[in-house]
Chains A and B, each alone.
Chain A
Amino acid sequence: MNLRLTWRKSLNVFMLTLTGVAALAVVSVLFLILGYLVWNGWKSLNLDFFTKLPVPVGEMGGGMANAIVGSLKLLLLAAVIGLPMGVMAGIYLAEFGGRTYGFTIRYVTDLLNGVPSIVIGIFVWSIVVAPMKTFSTFAGGVALAIMVIPITLRSSEAFLRAVPTSLREGAMALGASKWRTILTVVLPAARGGIITGMLLALARVAGETAPLLFTAFGNQFWSPGWKQPVASLPVMIYTYAISPYQDWHRQAWAAGLVLLAIVLIANIGTRIVLSRGGVRSV
């Protein structure tokens, strides 16, 4: 009897320690990744990286100025096209949606969210690039927008639902119509969360490579307007990382650091804002 008890007790200690080890392992991996990236990226960052264009193959130097601007343009397009759509659809689901239709929309949204980004890339190739007969920033923006919509939709809906019904009822009791209630009471109350959701969605697509391969394509030069191919940070990282050129590897690390910085700042920033606002994050 004692033996069994000792066994159970030691197993208890062993397993619980193991869970702690697992948690430690996962966190260490995170710090290792970040550390390695920061170390390699930091020593490769210089002013040229932010201001110069890429140089011909095999030559040293140059930078990714066009890719940085390109990524910003793509994000701008994704934001302009995808965010309003996601928020409006979120409003529909939270305020107006019927049972069955609401369920359908949610299901399809999750479906769209789960589609591999490469598939979205080839979809946009056939509906935008092929008819327009050119690769373009616009096509890249559309591809990223399609990825932004489901994320924004779900998070907007969640934050709108989190607004207490008493607020809505109060407004209606004062005689406001439904749309006025939404506009002047509900949306402002959920504003923090919705903006957070938008920023997180943008941060998520900022790092996407696969949908840009066949839509935004790539460009060694500056890409004026919206109908030309454009360079982007993730695609440059990919191209440079699989090459044999040491200088390109160096630039890939630098680009990786910049990309990671953007993504992490967006994520950390929004969560701090959220937790201060007292609303639980999605």
Chain B
Amino acid sequence: MKKTLFVLALLLGFTATAGAQTLLNAAGATFPYPIYSKWFSVYHQDHSNVQINYQSIGSGGGIQQLKAGTVDFGASDMPLNDETLGQFPFKILQFPTVLGAIVPTYNIPGVQAELKFTPQALADIYLGKVTKWNDPEIAGANPGVKLPADDIVVIHRSDGSGTTFVWTDYLSKVSPDWKTKVGSNTSVKWPVGLGGKGNEGVSGLVQQTPNAIGYVELIYALQNHLSYGVVKNSSGKFIKASLETVNEAAAGAAAKMQKDIRISITDAPGANAYPICSFTYLLIPVNISDATKRDAIKGFLNWMVADGQTMVESLNYAQLPKAVVDIEKKQISEIR
């Protein structure tokens, strides 16, 4: 009996609230999860009294849990429009954090080459119109590559996803058919395909399923050695996702963001612009009543736009343009 009490006391003591720690909980997008998990880990090492627990449950989840008040802040690749903002019981600010690219990743046994995809091909694959890898729409852009006559296994997201939003936003721009039949949102009615949970789940499925194609953030394809294709942009060139091409897509954005920080940069103009890129946003409430939490969040945001940005390129995300950083610094001061 004494022994059980002792163990119990030990356990309770172990689990008692740690002194003077500021614990923040956040949830949302899987698109930037690799850089966020690195940021929060490094930030905690440098500021051991601040612990930011981020769960990657998808942009839809981040928005919803923030609205319900169960997390301190959220993350979403999809910027919130006024209608959605109106549904929130409190005012929120949106802070872009990084720029990322979404790539079409595939797993075709026997095909090592980097495939070229036209926007039309991508839309038609996801619409279910193109069903085999050796379809002329794909083969036509890839002369010299031997594509199998196998069925394409389309993989999409099963959860509410900002990555889906960006992907469908792009497809809506390049395919009127997609725009009318499916539309763009964090969750859509997919004409075909299997659903994976998170960028992680989609990459996992592509990795395990022969003849699969999926859309994931660049770092997921790179970290897991998945092949990914190049996409034809609005200027007609086939562009590979990289820091340069993503930066070019964001080049014209900074000016527009002065007026409204929410912007879509898919199918951006520019000779070498990668057509499927996006900013991703942290959603922060304007009024934070708990002073320690408020200071912690502001401290993190200030760190994020400065030191944090130096880490992003190692994970193949692009840094925020300087003009955007200035806009954000002003926004940070609005949090009270």
Indicate yes or no for A touching B, C-beta below 8 A: yes
Nearest chain A CB to B300 CB, angstrom units: 15
Nearest chain A CB to B287 CB, angstrom units: 15
**Residue contact B223 to A221, C-beta cutoff 8 Å:** no
A127 at the interface (CB under 8 A from B): no
Q: In the complex, what residue of chain A is closest to B221 when comparing beta carbons?
A: A244
Q: Which of A218-263 contact B (CB under 8 A)?
A: 218-226, 228-229, 239, 242-245
A142 to B242, CA, bound (A): 47
Given contacts A133-B69, A244-B207, A244-B226, contact A224 B18 (CB under 8 A): yes
B183 at the interface (CB under 8 A from A): no
Q: In the complex, what residue of chain B is closest to A59 when comparing beta carbons?
A: B38
Chain A residues whose C-beta falls within 8 Å of the C-beta of B204 in the assembled complex:
242-244
Nearest chain B CB to A226 CB, angstrom units: 7
A69 to B37, CA, bound (A): 21
**Residue contact A243 to B34, C-beta cutoff 8 Å:** no
**Residue contact A58 to B207, C-beta cutoff 8 Å:** no
**Residue contact A55 to B41, C-beta cutoff 8 Å:** yes
User: Which of B47-55, B278-286, B320-328 lies on the face that meets chain A?
Assistant: B47-55
A134 at the interface (CB under 8 A from B): yes
Q: Which of A56-88 contact B (CB under 8 A)?
A: 56-58, 69, 72-73, 76
B15 at the interface (CB under 8 A from A): yes
**Residue contact A224 to B25, C-beta cutoff 8 Å:** no
A49 at the interface (CB under 8 A from B): no
Instruction: Bits for B10-21, please: 1 = Cβ < 8 Å to A, else 0.
Output: 010011111001
Given contacts A56-B41, A58-B219, contact A229 B25 (CB under 8 A): yes
**Residue contact B54 to A58, C-beta cutoff 8 Å:** no
**Residue contact B53 to A221, C-beta cutoff 8 Å:** yes
Pick the contact of B70 from A73, A134, A223, A239 — CB < 8 Å?
Answer: A134
B95 at the interface (CB under 8 A from A): no
Nearest chain A CB to B11 CB, angstrom units: 7
A159 at the interface (CB under 8 A from B): no
Say which size band chain A's interface belongs to: 20 to 34
Q: What is the total of A-B residue contacts with beta carbons within 8 Å?
A: 90
Chain B residues whose C-beta falls within 8 Å of the C-beta of A219 in the assembled complex:
53, 55
Q: Which applies to chain A's interface (DSSP): helix, strand, loop or mixed?
A: loop
Nearest chain B CB to A259 CB, angstrom units: 19
User: Which of B163-171, B172-180, B193-201, B227-235 lies on the face that meets chain A?
Assistant: B193-201
Given contacts A76-B11, A134-B25, contact A242 B197 (CB under 8 A): yes
**Residue contact B224 to A229, C-beta cutoff 8 Å:** no
A243 to B14, CA, bound (A): 31
A224 to B21, CA, bound (A): 10
A129 at the interface (CB under 8 A from B): yes
Chain A residues whose C-beta falls within 8 Å of the C-beta of B274 in the assembled complex:
none
Pick the contact of A229 from B34, B37, B53 — CB < 8 Å?
Answer: B53
**Residue contact B15 to A56, C-beta cutoff 8 Å:** no
B23, B34, B201 — which one has the most chain A CB atoms within 10 A of its CB? B23
B44 at the interface (CB under 8 A from A): yes
Chain A residues whose C-beta falls within 8 Å of the C-beta of B41 in the assembled complex:
55-56, 220
A25 at the interface (CB under 8 A from B): no
A58 to B149, CA, bound (A): 34
Nearest chain A CB to B204 CB, angstrom units: 4
Chain B residues whose C-beta falls within 8 Å of the C-beta of A55 in the assembled complex:
41
Pick the contact of B16 from A56, A57, A225, A245 — CB < 8 Å?
Answer: A225
Nearest chain B CB to A114 CB, angstrom units: 26
Nearest chain B CB to A124 CB, angstrom units: 12
Nearest chain B CB to A220 CB, angstrom units: 6
**Residue contact B70 to A129, C-beta cutoff 8 Å:** yes
A167 at the interface (CB under 8 A from B): no
**Residue contact B37 to A57, C-beta cutoff 8 Å:** yes
**Residue contact A242 to B196, C-beta cutoff 8 Å:** yes
Pick the contact of A130 from B34, B68, B201, B220 — CB < 8 Å?
Answer: B68
B215 at the interface (CB under 8 A from A): no
B33 at the interface (CB under 8 A from A): yes
Pick the contact of B38 from A56, A221, A242 — CB < 8 Å?
Answer: A56
Given contacts A57-B34, A225-B16, contact A220 B54 (CB under 8 A): yes
Beyond A134-B25, A220-B41, A242-B201, 10 additional contacts (C-beta under 8 Å) are: A56-B41, A57-B37, A217-B27, A218-B55, A219-B55, A224-B18, A225-B15, A228-B25, A242-B196, A244-B206
Q: Which residues of B contact A (CB under 8 A)?
A: 11, 14-18, 21, 23, 25, 27, 33-34, 37-38, 40-41, 44, 51, 53-55, 68-71, 196-198, 200-201, 203-204, 206-207, 219-220, 223-224, 226, 315
Residue pairs across A and B with Cβ atoms less than 8 A apart, 6 shown, are A133-B68, A135-B70, A221-B53, A242-B201, A245-B200, A245-B223
Q: Which 4 A-B pairs have the closest CB atoms?
A: A243-B200, A244-B203, A56-B37, A225-B17
Q: Which residues of A contact B (CB under 8 A)?
A: 55-58, 69, 72-73, 76, 129-130, 133-135, 217-226, 228-229, 239, 242-245
